[in-house]
Amino acid sequence: MFLIRLINIFFEVYEMAILVYVLMSWFPGAYQTKVGQLLTRVCQPYLNIFRFIPPILGVSFAPLVALIFLEFVKQGLYAILFGF
**pTM for this model (two decimals):** 0.88
The backbone torsions φ and ψ at residue 80, rounded to the nearest 5 degrees and listed phi first, read -70, -45
First to last CA, the chain: 13
Q: Mean pLDDT over all residues of the chain?
A: 93
Of 24, 28, 60, 58, the closest CA to residue 40 belongs to: 24
Give the pLDDT score at 84. 62
Among 1-10, 40-49, 70-79, where is mean pLDDT lowest? 1-10
Residue 42 · residue 17 · CB < 8 Å: yes
